[in-house]
A and B are shown apart, each in its own frame.
Chain A
Amino acid sequence: MLTTIKPRRRTVILYLIVPVALFVFTVFVPLVTALVYSFFEWKGGPSKQFTGLANYQQLFRDGVFWQAFGHNIYLVVACIIGQIGIAFIMVMFVNSRMARLKGIHRTFGFFPSTISAVCIGLIWSMVYHYKFGLINWFLRIIGRPDLQQVWLNDSKHVMLYVTIPLIWQYIGYYMVIILSAIASINTDVLESAEIDGANGFQKSVYIVLPLIRNTMLVCITLCIAGNMKAFDNIYVMTSGGPGTSSMVMAMWGYKVSFQQSNMGYGSCISVAIFILSLLVIGGSQWAIKRATRNMGD
């Protein structure tokens, strides 16, 4: 056998050992550790006490955690509608024959998604600021200073206010992904639809959308996975506050583990985040596949 395609065992092992070891150590060892510690009462010090399922019982009664989980779901839904929905509309606009400066819209639109979530969070903190923020400045300009408020202190609507930056940041990202999918559609289909008298809206909903179904699925999956792990923006903008009204799961796990230094329960929350995220991602995939199968091709 040729040694190039079938190298010696030792060579393969030598090549693989470092990356595989590094990966196992950084991803799987912590996972197992978290699972083990989730059964202990452990405040981060030297003493640990096995408490069985006590942490999990506490988790089921932990209102803040489930509130945070709800907020993650809120983010997912809002971002699927906001990011992918608006992105799709933008794509239809960019792709229409009347649109000018297409390259600029792509470059500028994509730009925010390359900036760190920390910067985005800081920028929007400035936008929302009571005295020096752009929103209140705008309200003063249009003569409605009565509408001014400390935006991020409004516990009722704070989730909406932290979602807007997230949506804004990634519209361009999904726009570019959808654009590249549409570019690969055979233009004959669209032209014949046009000859048959389909307008822009009909073309996009009845012809383009089904043809790029797989790409839309990828977008939705990315969106769900991205929002189940929301942390950076929220940490910078509100740290989950006021109170717990913008708490998300990762933020709560962080607070419990590092501010209350309750590492045992923190590990339990980590395991819960792991399981819930997989369930939501897997469940949504299954639901979408089922729904689209019923739709027929």
Chain B
Amino acid sequence: MTESGKKAKSAVTPGKRVRHGISAVLINLVLIVFSASCIFPIIWMLYSSLKEKRVFNADIIGLPKHPTLINYIRILTNKDYHLAESMWNSVRTTGISIVAIVLFSFIVGYILARVRFKMNRALYVMFLMGMLIPIHSLLVPIYVVFRRCGMSNQWYTLLFPYIAFGLPMGIFLVEGFVRTIPVALEEAAAIDGSSFSYTLWHIIFPICKPILTTVAIIQIFGCWNEFSFALVLIKDVSLQTVPLALTQFKGQFASDYPKQMAAMLITMAPVVVLYFAFSREIIKGMVAGAVKG
């Protein structure tokens, strides 16, 4: 009895192990296919951009036998493409927007969390509404207002929507964070004779750095990638940001894929490098922003 029981048991184990092994292989296979699909397009673009158009058209998938940088050189040297200019516009717009979003979120978030005044709740609700408003319904109206004020198609035009749309989430992240800081800290500072501004910038600001980094991370990708408001508000080729420039390349190089790919890789390079250098922090920041915001 016991012997047959033992036999049955030992007969089950290898079968179970095989099944276990098969599911392990399947699970890993699915995950690898998924990850590969996420990364493959950029690898395909990377090596295809090193081919000449003629070579690419003959074989779209093969590795380049004679890799060449000719596509990159042509794109960056040809003045008609404005790629370097667009890069600079994107860098400038993103940079200024991030600094402004971080500073304003910090100031407003702190004041809303700590200072009691009549308008406090009203302002809070106003920024909360800013998160709920479907901003794409503002596409046309913003154009109308900005053109009326002579503010469309200027170097500073895009700063307004980018900062304004970035503020609500930043403010809420900061507000929630400041509430976790004990008030005793500011009281002690006040007793030592620190003014409101001094406490704000020298005591609270350093404490808030982690949350402000999160805000900056979320917004860097948002600003760099933003397309629709740039499309509506910017007409001048010399003022366009990177996504806008890319849509024009699509028309210009309709049948020249290696060149399109080279252009895309150049414009993606800053965020790709940033992402793979700090992926852990970036993923953490984005998740925090999504869940808390």
Interface residues of chain A, those whose CB is within 8 Å of chain B, are 2-9, 11-12, 15-16, 18-20, 22-27, 29-31, 33-34, 37, 90, 93-94, 96, 98-101, 104-119, 122-123, 125-127, 129, 131-134, 137, 168, 171-173, 176-177, 180-181, 215, 218, 222, 225, 228-229, 231-232, 235-236, 249-250, 253-254, 257-258, 263, 266-267, 269-271, 273-274, 277-278, 281
Q: Which residues of B contact A228 (CB under 8 A)?
A: 134, 136
Number of interface residues of B (CB under 8 A): 95
Known: A7-B115, A11-B196, A218-B291. A270 touches B140 (CB 8 A): yes
Provide the main secondary structure of the chain B interface. helix
Contact call A5/B247, Cβ cutoff below 8 A: no
Give the shortest distance, in Å, between A236 (CB) and chain B (any CB).
6
Q: Is B142 part of the contact surface with A, judged by Cβ < 8 Å?
A: yes
Known: A19-B107, A93-B27. A137 touches B61 (CB 8 A): yes
Q: Which residues of B contact A236 (CB under 8 A)?
A: 247, 250
Give the shortest distance, in Å, between A106 (CB) and chain B (any CB).
7
Give the shortest distance, in Å, between A4 (CB) and chain B (any CB).
3
Q: Is B127 part of the contact surface with A, judged by Cβ < 8 Å?
A: yes
Q: Which residues of B contact A105 (CB under 8 A)?
A: 31, 34-35
Contact call A22/B160, Cβ cutoff below 8 A: yes
Q: Which residues of A contact B232 (CB under 8 A)?
A: 254, 258
Q: Which residues of B contact A101 (CB under 8 A)?
A: 28, 31-32, 35
Pick out which of these stretches binds chain A: B4-12, B66-74, B76-84, B161-169. Answer: B161-169
Contact call A172/B38, Cβ cutoff below 8 A: yes
Q: Which residues of B contact A114 (CB under 8 A)?
A: 221, 271, 275, 282
Contact call B189/A4, Cβ cutoff below 8 A: yes
Instruction: Report the 3 A-B pairs with minimum CB-CB distance, sorted nearest first.
Output: A116-B225, A4-B190, A30-B141
Contact call A218/B290, Cβ cutoff below 8 A: yes
Contact call A254/B139, Cβ cutoff below 8 A: yes
Q: Tell which of B20, B27, B190 touches A99, judged by Cβ atoms closer than 8 Å.
A: B27
Q: Which residues of B contact A15 (CB under 8 A)?
A: 107-108, 111
Known: A9-B117, A12-B115, A134-B60. A23 touches B167 (CB 8 A): yes
Q: Which residues of B contact A112 (CB under 8 A)?
A: 38
Q: Is B238 part of the contact surface with A, judged by Cβ < 8 Å?
A: no
User: Closest A-chain residue to B120, C-beta based?
Assistant: A12
Interface residues of chain B, those whose CB is within 8 Å of chain A, are 20, 23-24, 27-28, 30-32, 34-39, 41-42, 44-45, 56-57, 60-61, 104, 107-108, 111, 114-117, 123, 126-127, 130, 132-145, 160-161, 163-165, 167, 183, 186-187, 189-191, 194-197, 199, 221, 224-228, 231-232, 242-243, 246-247, 250, 257, 260-261, 264, 267-268, 271-272, 275-276, 279, 282-283, 286-287, 290-291
Contact call A266/B107, Cβ cutoff below 8 A: no
Give the shortest distance, in Å, between B196 (CB) and chain A (any CB).
4
Give the shortest distance, in Å, between B206 (CB) and chain A (any CB).
16
Q: Tell which of B126, B127, B196, B291 touches A7, judged by Cβ atoms closer than 8 Å.
A: B196
Contact call A263/B137, Cβ cutoff below 8 A: no
